[in-house]
Amino acid sequence: MDAKKIIYRCLLGVAAIVLAYMCVHSVMTPIRFEEKREVREQEVIKNLIHIRTAQNEFKLENGRYAADLDSLILFLKTTPKKEVYKQGSLTDKQLESGLTEHKAAKIMEQACLKARIKENIEDEDALYEFVWANDKTVLQNNLQGFRRDTIRKNMIATLFKGEFTEENIDQIIYIPFSNGQKFEIEVNNDYTTSQGIRVPVMEVRAHYNTYLGDLDDQERINLVDKEVKLEHYPGLKIGDITAPNNNAGNWE
């Protein structure tokens, strides 16, 4: 066999190997991209859910959403979580007579304040026991055993069950795999429905380019283009600045 034929066959062999590699690469690239995308999106979704939890609590406390993420973190670090301890309940007869939870709680509050001053009772349980047995207004309204106390707990520990502390709660406002970029946030606390009802709305977003930016460029471009053509947001988000949607995620 002459040298030309050997070279020719070698070149054919190399070409076959290159072609095979290109075929495998063309098949595996989108598969690997989707695998990495799925892993990353689970982490992004976790933070979006944490932000939603915090924003809902902020709205419960203030009647509006935090306009920026730094204010939201400050709220979590400085505001106690208020919870009402409940003991006893009102009967149908009491409710029909016009007694409400608010009125009953007010009666108990005033009775406890009076007893605390006059009887110098400091222990809360002993205070309620005394009031239930001796206060005329409490007895007239049959509120023995009725108790409502506002308890203040650490906001971060209560909402996130030990997952975060004041030292690391800031992590929730950063997009994972984005090299330190924050989620985009948009808030309209004066949104008004067609019925004239004011409903604060918000939207928190992470574009594909932020958390998939170091993956295959063409696959990412194709993904963004696909979502744009479908008139979908090209990334992950919660809420909708154009209409109330209970802060649902676009993956839900």
pLDDT, position 69: 98
Asked whether the beta carbons of 239 and 245 are under 8 A apart, the reply is: yes
Tokens 């290109």 map to which residue? 22
* pLDDT computed for residue 188 by the predictor: 97
Residue with tokens 């190399």: 14
Q: Token digits for 12? A: 């054919």
Burial environment of residue 108 by CB neighbours within 10 A (0 to 12, 13 to 18, 19 or more): buried
Strands 184-188, 147-153: pairing is: unpaired
**Per-block mean pLDDT, blocks of 10 residues, the chain (252 long):** 62 59 60 95 98 97 97 97 91 93 94 91 92 95 93 94 94 97 97 92 98 95 96 97 96 95
Angle between helices 3-62 and 217-229 (to 10 degrees): 50
User: Tell me, what's the pLDDT at 157?
Assistant: 95
pLDDT confidence of residue 20:
56
pLDDT for 85 equals 87
CA dist., res. 43 & res. 247, Å (int) = 18
Length of the chain in terms of residues written = 252
Residue 38 token pair: 């799925």
Specify the DSSP element, H or E, that contains 221. Answer: helix 217-229
